[in-house]
């Protein structure tokens, strides 16, 4: 399941003033920043902006970085958030955006070689948020960033199958996100993390929700994700991505497909919306469109530098299953053979786990395709 995670806060002008006065950046950093400015054609330079326009300028950088992330333009997104870090060195936001970018990039490409940098950025966000909480204990934004940092780290642990650490961090994260909302009920960006946790926790524990200490909060979670998608300032794309996956989980395939197609009109070729679209088609029984979309995803990963073939295998295995569902065993066998021929490293083979076993079983049975069950 591919999910996008991007959220944000507002500017602290004192940090901006301090960073502009500190002559501690080498010329290489300034050159990198100037190059980033050249890329951000629609956003004016922070150094040329007065205080009254600072919020709008920072907002423009953030929106540009989020859009670049959704479109897999990771270098542009990184240069955008690095630019903010240069001018806001003590503010938690640039470090959080960079951490969110790294997480999205690693999960998208299934390359986890930037894990240490991700953890360092998350730690920096938490330290900066704690400093703000000490000086401004009622500042909702500080609780938001602390909660978001814990939540992102928890999601990462869960992705790596360290479920105990993942659950602990997510629970801590939700606690601080709820603290943010208690201080500002209109903080709709924070609703996304809370609602996502409530919904999926309830789904995972639905068999024991009858117990008095286990509440089913899936409906409340769905409502919060929907509100974040509608009213959140920076959470819209992430919330809509999450909402599509929730619609799929609820077997509301028509709504999921319509929403994914709508977002792809706004973000053409975005894998963050192609993944749920392909899966929604598959589960809805629309195997022709599912095959087409998974093949589109598969092709997009082939051109990525350092492609480790993980995503190719996942997409291809779904195409293979679709052909079997359509009673096309010869095409399924052809796909299985192609997948078994991919040069997979031992770590990738280990992560594929059950998917690899399923493809191998089909491949082994291909000597007699007529034996396949629909």
Contacts for 132 with CB less than 8 Å, ≥ 6 apart: 92, 139, 141, 142, 145
- Give a yes or no: residue 108 inside a domain: no
For position 315, what pLDDT does the model report?
A: 98
Residue 110: pLDDT band by 50, 70, 90 thresholds? very high
Quick check: 40 pLDDT over 80? no
- Give a yes or no: residue 269 inside a domain: no
**Helix, strand or coil, per DSSP, at residue 72:** coil
Tokens of 23: 């002559």
**What is the rounded average pLDDT for all residues in the chain?**
85
Residue 308: pLDDT band by 50, 70, 90 thresholds? very high
As a whole number of Å, the CA-based R_g of the chain is 22
For position 55, what pLDDT does the model report?
A: 75
Quick check: 22 pLDDT over 50? no
- Give a yes or no: residue 234 inside a domain: no
Rounded Cα–Cα distance for residues 189 and 171 (Å) = 18
- Give a yes or no: residue 56 inside a domain: no
For position 142, what pLDDT does the model report?
A: 95
What is the DSSP secondary structure assignment for residue 45, as one 8-state letter? -
Average pLDDT over every residue of 324-342:
97
Average pLDDT over every residue of 7-18:
36
- Give a yes or no: residue 352 inside a domain: yes
Quick check: 332 pLDDT over 60? yes
User: How does pLDDT run across 188-245, given as a tens digit for each residue?
Assistant: 999 999 999 999 988 887 655 555 556 789 999 999 999 999 999 989 999 999 999 9
- Give a yes or no: residue 7 inside a domain: no
When divided into structural domains, the chain yields a total of: 1
Residue 42: pLDDT band by 50, 70, 90 thresholds? very low
Quick check: 266 pLDDT over 50? yes
The CA-CA-CA angle for residues 239, 240, 243, to 5°, reads 85
Domain span at residue 320? Answer: 285-374
- Give a yes or no: residue 366 inside a domain: yes
- Give a yes or no: residue 28 inside a domain: no
Average pLDDT over every residue of 248-271:
98
């Amino acid at each position: 399941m591919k999910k996008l995670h991007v959220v944000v806060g507002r500017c602290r002008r004192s940090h901006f003033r301090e960073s502009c006065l500190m002559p501690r950046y080498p010329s290489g950093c300034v050159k990198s920043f100037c190059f980033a400015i050249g890329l951000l054609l629609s956003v004016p330079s922070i150094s040329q902006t007065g205080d009254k326009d600072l919020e709008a300028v920072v907002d423009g950088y953030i929106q540009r970085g989020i859009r670049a992330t959704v479109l897999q333009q990771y270098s542009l997104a990184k240069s955008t958030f690095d630019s903010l870090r240069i001018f806001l060195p003590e503010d938690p936001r640039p470090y959080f955006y960079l951490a969110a970018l790294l997480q999205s990039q690693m999960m998208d490409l299934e390359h986890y070689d930037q894990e240490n940098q991700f953890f360092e950025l998350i730690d920096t966000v938490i330290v900066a948020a704690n400093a703000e909480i000490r000086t401004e204990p009622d500042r909702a934004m500080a609780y938001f960033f602390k909660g978001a940092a814990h939540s992102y780290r928890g999601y990462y642990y869960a992705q790596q199958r360290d479920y105990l650490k993942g659950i602990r961090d997510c629970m801590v994260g939700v606690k601080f996100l709820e603290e943010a909302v208690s201080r500002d009920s209109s903080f709709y960006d924070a609703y996304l993390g809370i609602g996502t946790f409530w919904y999926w926790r309830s789904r995972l524990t639905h068999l024991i929700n009858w117990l008095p200490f286990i509440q089913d909060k899936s409906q409340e979670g769905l409502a919060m994700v929907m509100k974040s998608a509608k009213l959140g300032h920076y959470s819209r794309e992430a919330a809509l991505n999450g909402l599509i996956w929730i619609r799929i989980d609820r077997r509301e395939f028509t709504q999921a497909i319509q929403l994914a197609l709508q977002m792809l009109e706004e973000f053409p070729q975005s894998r963050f919306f192609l993944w749920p679209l392909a899966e929604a088609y598959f589960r809805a029984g629309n195997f022709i469109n599912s095959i087409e979309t998974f093949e589109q995803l598969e092709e997009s990963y082939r051109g990525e530098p350092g492609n480790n073939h993980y995503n190719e295998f996942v997409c291809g295995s779904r195409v293979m299953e679709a052909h079997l569902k359509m009673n096309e065993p010869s095409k399924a066998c052809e796909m299985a053979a192609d997948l078994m021929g991919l040069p997979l490293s031992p770590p990738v083979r280990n992560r594929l786990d059950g998917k690899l076993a399923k493809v191998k079983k089909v491949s082994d049975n291909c000597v007699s395709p007529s034996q396949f069950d629909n």
